[in-house]
Structure 1
Amino acid sequence: MTTIDPERDLTLDRVIHAPREAVWDAWSTPSLLAKWWVPAPTVARVDRLEVSPGGAFVTSMSADGALFAPHTDSVFLVVEPHRRLVFTNAVDSGWHPAKPEPVAMTAEISLDDHADGTDYRVVVRHGDAAARSRHEALGFFEGWSAVTAALAALAEGGARP
């Protein structure tokens, strides 16, 4: 487990009442990721999902399901199947330095065994305290909590690829 810097990092923890494999599948299967990756009623489209170190993670979102706008353009840095994913939007899927809006971040998703299923942890790292504060003010906890609840509902409901 990596060290948390409370001045620059935002965290979210939840127990998901499903096995790690089901949570992993929801992260690593495009059709499942599209079901929970953005807060409803917004719709997600997974444009590229290459779950390997250096692989692309590109999604779009739509309010009406017809007109899609860019949402995530990032790369995976670390992939430990069924255990850990780390991705950043500071580098885009073409491996070019990026200046993402609203903030540059590196997200670490950890999956650990729990007596009731999966101990799910998100750590989102920022370059400085101002970026962390901006992300929090823009609704980090509301947004990430909403998508984590949708992820949990999907995994707990037994959705499989």
Structure 2
Amino acid sequence: MTTPTIDPELDLTIERVIHGPRSSVWRAWTEPALLERWWIPAPMVTRVDTLDVRPGGGFVTQMSEDGATFVPHTDTVFLVVDEGHRLVFTNAVNSSWRPTRPEPVSMTAEIILVDHPEGTAYTAVVRHGDPAQRRLHEDLGFFDGWGTVTAALATLVEQGGAVEQGGAA
């Protein structure tokens, strides 16, 4: 596992220790029923339409304020899947492999999971093509949004909501 190169002019980063096993954090990212529990800040609701966790696989979600009417949220493609350790996805190409012009921000996200004495060292690096895109994403509330969902992910894992049936993590 390599350490990601971070360019502060282009990248936004969230880091935290999640007090649970890496396998549980991985499950929360890769199983639709678990992803739906944390992927969008509450009280919004997520619906996972596609979660094909393999290079080239689609990652498509919708969101709802009322739990009944859903609108598009995420339509991306996985670039890298390093089982249990790393996910990389981008919205520059959608789940149908069509080039996109994502509004308002084009990005590539890298999720890195590393064993830590207290659980899992979790890093999300969100890369942008130019400083203006990075600033726009930050101004739109990157740290609030990604920070909130990372906290929800941590709560899910730390409360045992992503442990495999039978007690194995």
Residue 93 (1) aligns with residue 108 (2): no
Amino acid at match of 1:50: D
After superposition, the C-alpha distances for 1:55-107 in whole angstroms (9 at most, x for unaligned) are: 00000000000000000000000001110000000000000000111101000
Residue 35 (1) aligns with residue 37 (2): yes
Q: Distance in 2 between matches of 1:144 and 1:12?
A: 7
Unmatched 5+ stretches in structure 1: none
Q: CA deviation at 1:157?
A: 1.2
Q: Distance in 2 between matches of 1:137 and 1:2?
A: 24
Counterpart residue number, 1:128: 130
Unmatched 5+ stretches in structure 2: 165-169
User: Match for 1:139 among 141, 150, 156?
Assistant: 141
Q: CA deviation at 1:2?
A: 2.2
User: Match for 1:64 among 50, 61, 66?
Assistant: 66
Amino acid at match of 2:87: L
Counterpart residue number, 1:152: 154
Counterpart residue number, 2:78: 76
Q: Distance in 1 between matches of 2:134 and 2:145?
A: 15
| TM-score, structure 2 normalization | 0.94
SS at 1:36 equivalent: coil
After superposition, the C-alpha distances for 1:102-151 in whole angstroms (9 at most, x for unaligned) are: 10100000000110000000000000000000000000000000000000
Instruction: Calculate the aligned-residue CA RMSD, in Å.
Output: 0.7
Percent of pairs identical after alignment? 65
Q: How many residues align?
A: 161
Amino acid at match of 1:18: G
Counterpart residue number, 1:118: 120
User: Match for 2:4 among 2, 5, 25?
Assistant: 2
Counterpart residue number, 2:106: 104
Q: Distance in 1 between matches of 2:46 and 2:34?
A: 10
Amino acid at match of 1:98: T
Q: Distance in 2 between matches of 1:96 and 1:151?
A: 30
Amino acid at match of 1:22: S
Amino acid at match of 1:23: V
Q: CA deviation at 1:155?
A: 0.8
Counterpart residue number, 2:167: none
